[in-house]
Protein backbone atom coordinates (compact mmCIF):
# COMPACT_ATOMS: atom_id res chain seq x y z
CA UNK A 1 0.00 0.00 0.00
CA UNK A 2 1.44 3.45 -0.93
CA UNK A 3 2.64 5.54 2.01
CA UNK A 4 0.42 8.46 1.01
CA UNK A 5 -2.67 6.22 1.03
CA UNK A 6 -1.75 4.88 4.49
CA UNK A 7 -1.49 8.43 5.85
CA UNK A 8 -4.83 9.38 4.30
CA UNK A 9 -6.47 6.32 5.91
CA UNK A 10 -4.90 7.20 9.29
CA UNK A 11 -6.15 10.77 8.99
CA UNK A 12 -9.69 9.61 8.15
CA UNK A 13 -9.69 7.14 11.06
CA UNK A 14 -8.45 9.60 13.68
CA UNK A 15 -10.63 12.40 12.36
CA UNK A 16 -13.60 10.03 12.47
CA UNK A 17 -12.82 9.11 16.09
CA UNK A 18 -12.62 12.81 16.96
CA UNK A 19 -15.97 13.51 15.32
CA UNK A 20 -17.46 10.50 17.14
CA UNK A 21 -16.20 11.82 20.49
CA UNK A 22 -17.69 15.24 19.75
CA UNK A 23 -21.03 13.60 18.90
CA UNK A 24 -20.98 11.47 22.06
CA UNK A 25 -20.17 14.54 24.12
CA UNK A 26 -22.88 16.75 22.59
CA UNK A 27 -25.72 14.33 21.79
CA UNK A 28 -27.49 14.83 25.14
CA UNK A 29 -27.29 18.62 25.13
CA UNK A 30 -30.80 20.05 25.36
CA UNK A 31 -32.03 22.93 23.15
CA UNK A 32 -31.99 25.14 26.25
CA UNK A 33 -28.31 24.36 26.87
CA UNK A 34 -27.49 24.97 23.19
CA UNK A 35 -29.08 28.38 23.57
CA UNK A 36 -26.89 29.15 26.59
CA UNK A 37 -23.77 27.95 24.73
CA UNK A 38 -24.57 30.12 21.71
CA UNK A 39 -25.21 33.07 23.99
CA UNK A 40 -21.81 32.57 25.68
CA UNK A 41 -20.02 32.30 22.33
CA UNK A 42 -21.71 35.49 21.08
CA UNK A 43 -20.87 37.41 24.27
CA UNK A 44 -17.20 36.36 24.30
CA UNK A 45 -14.62 39.12 23.86
CA UNK A 46 -12.52 37.64 21.06
CA UNK A 47 -10.09 40.57 21.06
CA UNK A 48 -8.63 39.08 24.24
CA UNK A 49 -7.72 35.96 22.29
CA UNK A 50 -5.01 38.01 20.50
CA UNK A 51 -2.64 38.08 23.54
CA UNK A 52 -3.14 34.33 23.88
CA UNK A 53 -2.20 33.88 20.21
CA UNK A 54 0.95 36.00 20.70
CA UNK A 55 1.89 33.78 23.65
CA UNK A 56 1.27 30.73 21.47
CA UNK A 57 3.66 32.03 18.80
CA UNK A 58 6.24 32.76 21.52
CA UNK A 59 5.97 29.18 22.85
CA UNK A 60 6.51 27.73 19.36
CA UNK A 61 9.52 30.01 18.77
CA UNK A 62 11.03 29.03 22.15
CA UNK A 63 10.54 25.37 21.27
CA UNK A 64 12.47 25.90 18.01
CA UNK A 65 15.30 27.72 19.83
CA UNK A 66 15.46 24.97 22.48
CA UNK A 67 15.56 22.24 19.83
CA UNK A 68 18.37 24.10 18.05
CA UNK A 69 20.32 24.18 21.32
CA UNK A 70 20.17 20.36 21.48
CA UNK A 71 21.91 20.17 18.10
CA UNK A 72 24.89 22.34 19.10
CA UNK A 73 26.75 19.59 21.06
CA UNK A 74 26.48 17.42 17.94
CA UNK A 75 28.25 20.09 15.86
CA UNK A 76 25.23 21.39 13.93
CA UNK A 77 23.96 24.96 13.87
CA UNK A 78 20.77 25.18 11.77
CA UNK A 79 19.01 28.44 11.02
CA UNK A 80 16.52 29.43 13.72
CA UNK A 81 13.91 30.22 11.08
CA UNK A 82 14.28 26.82 9.41
CA UNK A 83 14.00 25.16 12.82
CA UNK A 84 10.85 27.18 13.57
CA UNK A 85 9.34 26.35 10.17
CA UNK A 86 10.07 22.64 10.74
CA UNK A 87 8.41 22.71 14.18
CA UNK A 88 5.27 24.37 12.80
CA UNK A 89 4.96 22.00 9.84
CA UNK A 90 5.37 19.12 12.28
CA UNK A 91 2.51 20.46 14.41
CA UNK A 92 0.37 20.85 11.29
CA UNK A 93 0.97 17.24 10.23
CA UNK A 94 0.23 16.02 13.77
CA UNK A 95 -3.28 17.46 13.46
CA UNK A 96 -3.99 14.82 10.83
CA UNK A 97 -1.79 11.86 11.75
CA UNK A 98 -0.41 11.62 15.30
CA UNK A 99 3.37 11.29 15.67
CA UNK A 100 3.95 11.69 11.92
CA UNK A 101 4.71 15.35 12.64
CA UNK A 102 7.87 14.44 14.58
CA UNK A 103 9.19 12.49 11.59
CA UNK A 104 8.19 15.31 9.24
CA UNK A 105 9.98 18.07 11.13
CA UNK A 106 13.16 15.96 11.32
CA UNK A 107 12.92 15.31 7.59
CA UNK A 108 12.50 19.02 6.80
CA UNK A 109 15.54 20.05 8.83
CA UNK A 110 17.59 17.18 7.40
CA UNK A 111 16.71 18.38 3.90
CA UNK A 112 17.31 22.10 4.29
CA UNK A 113 20.13 22.10 6.88
CA UNK A 114 21.87 18.82 5.99
CA UNK A 115 21.65 17.55 9.56
CA UNK A 116 21.59 13.71 9.75
CA UNK A 117 18.00 12.58 10.33
CA UNK A 118 18.97 9.89 12.86
CA UNK A 119 20.61 12.48 15.13
CA UNK A 120 17.58 14.77 14.76
CA UNK A 121 15.31 11.91 15.86
CA UNK A 122 17.47 11.52 18.96
CA UNK A 123 17.26 15.22 19.84
CA UNK A 124 13.51 15.15 19.23
CA UNK A 125 13.11 12.16 21.58
CA UNK A 126 15.21 13.99 24.20
CA UNK A 127 13.03 17.07 23.81
CA UNK A 128 9.83 15.04 24.22
CA UNK A 129 11.26 13.32 27.29
CA UNK A 130 11.92 16.72 28.89
CA UNK A 131 8.37 17.85 28.05
CA UNK A 132 6.92 14.69 29.56
CA UNK A 133 8.96 15.25 32.73
CA UNK A 134 7.70 18.86 32.92
CA UNK A 135 4.11 17.69 32.41
CA UNK A 136 4.36 15.05 35.15
CA UNK A 137 5.97 17.50 37.60
CA UNK A 138 3.34 20.16 36.91
CA UNK A 139 0.59 17.55 37.22
CA UNK A 140 1.80 16.59 40.69
CA UNK A 141 2.13 20.25 41.68
CA UNK A 142 -1.37 20.99 40.37
CA UNK A 143 -3.01 18.06 42.15
CA UNK A 144 -1.25 18.47 45.50
CA UNK A 145 -1.61 22.26 45.59
CA UNK A 146 -5.37 21.91 44.97
CA UNK A 147 -5.97 18.50 46.49
CA UNK A 148 -9.33 19.55 47.95
CA UNK A 149 -10.58 20.34 44.42
CA UNK A 150 -8.69 17.95 42.15
CA UNK A 151 -7.84 15.06 44.47
CA UNK A 152 -11.20 13.29 44.24
CA UNK A 153 -11.45 13.91 40.46
CA UNK A 154 -7.99 12.44 39.75
CA UNK A 155 -8.69 9.51 42.09
CA UNK A 156 -12.03 8.64 40.47
CA UNK A 157 -11.09 9.37 36.84
CA UNK A 158 -7.49 8.08 36.73
CA UNK A 159 -6.17 6.21 39.79
CA UNK A 160 -9.21 4.02 40.54
CA UNK A 161 -9.53 2.68 36.94
CA UNK A 162 -5.78 1.90 36.90
CA UNK A 163 -5.99 0.11 40.25
CA UNK A 164 -9.04 -1.80 39.02
CA UNK A 165 -7.18 -2.97 35.89
CA UNK A 166 -4.16 -4.05 37.96
CA UNK A 167 -6.39 -5.88 40.43
CA UNK A 168 -8.09 -7.77 37.60
CA UNK A 169 -4.78 -8.89 36.11
CA UNK A 170 -3.44 -11.97 37.95
CA UNK A 171 0.25 -12.78 38.42
CA UNK A 172 0.20 -15.36 35.61
CA UNK A 173 -0.98 -12.80 33.05
CA UNK A 174 1.70 -10.32 34.15
CA UNK A 175 4.42 -12.99 33.92
CA UNK A 176 3.24 -13.96 30.43
CA UNK A 177 3.40 -10.31 29.28
CA UNK A 178 6.94 -9.91 30.72
CA UNK A 179 8.06 -13.21 29.14
CA UNK A 180 6.69 -12.19 25.72
CA UNK A 181 8.49 -8.84 25.99
CA UNK A 182 11.82 -10.54 26.82
CA UNK A 183 11.38 -13.05 23.98
CA UNK A 184 10.69 -10.27 21.47
CA UNK A 185 13.85 -8.39 22.55
CA UNK A 186 15.96 -11.59 22.38
CA UNK A 187 14.52 -12.40 18.94
CA UNK A 188 15.38 -8.93 17.63
CA UNK A 189 18.94 -9.19 19.00
CA UNK A 190 19.35 -12.65 17.42
CA UNK A 191 18.09 -11.40 14.05
CA UNK A 192 20.46 -8.42 14.19
CA UNK A 193 23.40 -10.73 14.86
CA UNK A 194 22.30 -13.16 12.16
CA UNK A 195 21.99 -10.44 9.53
CA UNK A 196 24.65 -8.15 11.00
CA UNK A 197 26.12 -7.26 7.62
CA UNK A 198 22.86 -6.75 5.79
CA UNK A 199 21.85 -3.28 4.64
CA UNK A 200 18.81 -3.25 6.94
CA UNK A 201 20.84 -4.17 10.03
CA UNK A 202 23.48 -1.55 9.26
CA UNK A 203 20.73 1.08 8.82
CA UNK A 204 19.06 0.12 12.12
CA UNK A 205 22.38 0.24 13.99
CA UNK A 206 23.22 3.63 12.51
CA UNK A 207 19.78 4.94 13.45
CA UNK A 208 20.13 3.57 17.00
CA UNK A 209 23.56 5.21 17.37
CA UNK A 210 22.19 8.51 16.09
CA UNK A 211 19.20 8.37 18.42
CA UNK A 212 21.40 7.61 21.45
CA UNK A 213 23.80 10.40 20.48
CA UNK A 214 20.89 12.82 20.13
CA UNK A 215 19.46 11.88 23.54
CA UNK A 216 22.88 12.25 25.20
CA UNK A 217 23.19 15.74 23.69
CA UNK A 218 21.38 17.10 26.77
CA UNK A 219 24.30 16.04 28.96
CA UNK A 220 26.82 17.59 26.55
CA UNK A 221 25.20 21.04 26.46
CA UNK A 222 27.28 23.93 27.81
CA UNK A 223 24.31 26.09 28.80
CA UNK A 224 22.13 23.59 30.65
CA UNK A 225 20.70 26.39 32.79
CA UNK A 226 19.45 28.25 29.71
CA UNK A 227 17.89 25.00 28.42
CA UNK A 228 15.98 24.64 31.72
CA UNK A 229 14.88 28.29 31.55
CA UNK A 230 13.64 27.80 27.98
CA UNK A 231 11.64 24.72 29.03
CA UNK A 232 10.08 26.68 31.89
CA UNK A 233 9.24 29.61 29.59
CA UNK A 234 7.49 27.29 27.12
CA UNK A 235 5.17 26.01 29.84
CA UNK A 236 4.69 29.51 31.27
CA UNK A 237 3.50 30.59 27.81
CA UNK A 238 1.06 27.65 27.72
CA UNK A 239 -0.24 28.55 31.19
CA UNK A 240 -0.55 32.24 30.30
CA UNK A 241 -2.56 31.35 27.19
CA UNK A 242 -5.20 29.61 29.28
CA UNK A 243 -5.20 32.37 31.89
CA UNK A 244 -5.66 35.09 29.24
CA UNK A 245 -8.46 33.01 27.74
CA UNK A 246 -10.40 33.22 31.02
CA UNK A 247 -10.99 36.93 30.39
CA UNK A 248 -12.85 36.23 27.14
CA UNK A 249 -15.93 35.25 29.15
CA UNK A 250 -17.32 37.19 32.11
CA UNK A 251 -18.14 33.95 33.96
CA UNK A 252 -14.50 32.72 33.87
CA UNK A 253 -12.75 36.07 34.31
CA UNK A 254 -12.53 35.61 38.11
CA UNK A 255 -10.60 32.34 37.84
CA UNK A 256 -6.95 32.50 38.83
CA UNK A 257 -3.66 30.84 37.96
CA UNK A 258 -4.57 27.69 39.94
CA UNK A 259 -7.61 27.03 37.74
CA UNK A 260 -5.56 27.83 34.61
CA UNK A 261 -2.93 25.29 35.71
CA UNK A 262 -5.62 22.63 36.21
CA UNK A 263 -7.12 23.32 32.76
CA UNK A 264 -3.65 23.21 31.18
CA UNK A 265 -2.69 19.91 32.81
CA UNK A 266 -5.93 18.03 32.20
CA UNK A 267 -6.40 19.59 28.76
CA UNK A 268 -2.87 18.45 27.81
CA UNK A 269 -4.03 14.87 28.30
CA UNK A 270 -6.67 15.48 25.61
CA UNK A 271 -3.99 16.87 23.29
CA UNK A 272 -1.92 13.71 23.79
CA UNK A 273 -4.64 11.07 23.33
CA UNK A 274 -6.17 12.58 20.17
CA UNK A 275 -4.58 14.39 17.19
CA UNK A 276 -4.75 18.08 18.08
CA UNK A 277 -7.07 17.20 20.97
CA UNK A 278 -10.15 17.01 18.70
CA UNK A 279 -13.09 15.56 20.59
CA UNK A 280 -11.07 15.06 23.80
CA UNK A 281 -9.70 18.47 24.78
CA UNK A 282 -13.08 20.26 24.99
CA UNK A 283 -14.89 17.78 27.30
CA UNK A 284 -11.86 17.51 29.58
CA UNK A 285 -11.66 21.31 29.90
CA UNK A 286 -15.41 21.52 30.53
CA UNK A 287 -15.24 18.83 33.23
CA UNK A 288 -12.27 20.59 34.85
CA UNK A 289 -14.09 23.92 34.96
CA UNK A 290 -17.08 22.22 36.58
CA UNK A 291 -14.82 21.62 39.59
CA UNK A 292 -14.52 25.41 39.90
CA UNK A 293 -18.32 25.80 39.77
CA UNK A 294 -18.40 27.02 36.16
CA UNK A 295 -21.74 26.14 34.46
CA UNK A 296 -21.72 23.48 31.76
CA UNK A 297 -22.55 25.87 28.91
CA UNK A 298 -19.74 28.28 29.86
CA UNK A 299 -17.18 25.48 30.24
CA UNK A 300 -18.26 24.04 26.89
CA UNK A 301 -17.91 27.43 25.17
CA UNK A 302 -14.53 28.15 26.82
CA UNK A 303 -13.13 24.77 25.77
CA UNK A 304 -14.05 25.41 22.15
CA UNK A 305 -12.70 28.99 22.16
CA UNK A 306 -9.28 27.91 23.47
CA UNK A 307 -9.09 24.84 21.25
CA UNK A 308 -10.05 26.74 18.10
CA UNK A 309 -7.55 29.53 18.84
CA UNK A 310 -4.72 27.01 19.27
CA UNK A 311 -5.71 24.88 16.29
CA UNK A 312 -6.23 27.77 13.87
CA UNK A 313 -2.86 29.22 14.91
CA UNK A 314 -1.13 25.91 14.13
CA UNK A 315 -2.93 25.62 10.77
CA UNK A 316 -2.05 29.21 9.79
CA UNK A 317 1.61 29.04 10.87
CA UNK A 318 1.99 25.49 9.50
CA UNK A 319 0.84 26.41 5.99
CA UNK A 320 2.77 29.69 6.15
CA UNK A 321 5.91 27.71 7.04
CA UNK A 322 5.35 25.33 4.12
CA UNK A 323 5.23 28.31 1.77
CA UNK A 324 8.13 30.14 3.42
CA UNK A 325 10.58 27.20 3.57
CA UNK A 326 11.55 27.04 -0.13
CA UNK A 327 11.50 30.84 -0.52
CA UNK A 328 13.70 31.46 2.53
CA UNK A 329 16.21 28.76 1.61
CA UNK A 330 16.40 29.89 -2.00
CA UNK A 331 17.35 33.37 -0.79
CA UNK A 332 19.99 31.87 1.52
CA UNK A 333 21.62 30.11 -1.43
CA UNK A 334 21.72 33.35 -3.44
CA UNK A 335 23.43 35.27 -0.62
CA UNK A 336 27.26 35.12 -0.67
Q: Residue 73: which residues within 8 A CB-CB, separation 6 or more?
A: 217, 220, 221, 222
Least confident of 32-41, 232-241, 245-254: 32-41
Whether 30 shows a pLDDT value over 60: the answer reads: yes
pTM metric for this prediction: 0.75
Higher pLDDT, 81 or 140: 81
Mean pLDDT calculated for residue range 21-34: 63
What average pLDDT does this structure show over 261-274? Answer: 83
pLDDT band at residue 270 under the 50/70/90 scheme: confident
Whole-angstrom CA distances from 47 to 39, 56, 252, 322 are: 17, 15, 16, 28
Polymer length in residues for the chain: 336
SS3 169: coil
The rounded mean pLDDT for the chain is 78
Instruction: Give the pLDDT score at 42.
Output: 86
Given a cut of 80, whether residue 37 has pLDDT beyond it is no
For residues 221 and 113, the model is more confident at 113
pLDDT in tens, 52-70: 999 999 999 999 999 988 8
- Under the banding of pLDDT at 50, 70 and 90, the label for residue 85 is very high
Contact 332, 113 (CB under 8 A): no
pLDDT category of residue 220 using cuts at 50, 70 and 90: low
CB 90 within 8 A of CB 105: yes
Structure confidence at residue 65 (pLDDT): 92
Report the pLDDT value the prediction gives residue 210, as an integer from 0 to 100: 54
User: In terms of pLDDT, which residue wins out, 246 or 335?
Assistant: 246
Mean pLDDT of 94-114: 82
**What's the pLDDT score for residue 240?**
93
Other CB atoms within a 10 A radius of the CB of residue 319 amount to 13
Q: Distance between CA atoms of 8 and 30, rounded to whole angstroms?
A: 35
Amino acid sequence: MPKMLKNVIKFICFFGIGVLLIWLFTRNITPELWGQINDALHRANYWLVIPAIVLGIASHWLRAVRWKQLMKPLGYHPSTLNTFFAVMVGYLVNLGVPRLGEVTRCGILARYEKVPADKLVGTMIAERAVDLLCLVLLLFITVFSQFDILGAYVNNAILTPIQHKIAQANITQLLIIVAIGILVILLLLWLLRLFARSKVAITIKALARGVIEGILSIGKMKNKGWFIVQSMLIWICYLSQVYMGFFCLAETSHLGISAALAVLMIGSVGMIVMPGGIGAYQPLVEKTLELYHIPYAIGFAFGWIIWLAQTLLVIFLGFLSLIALPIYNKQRKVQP
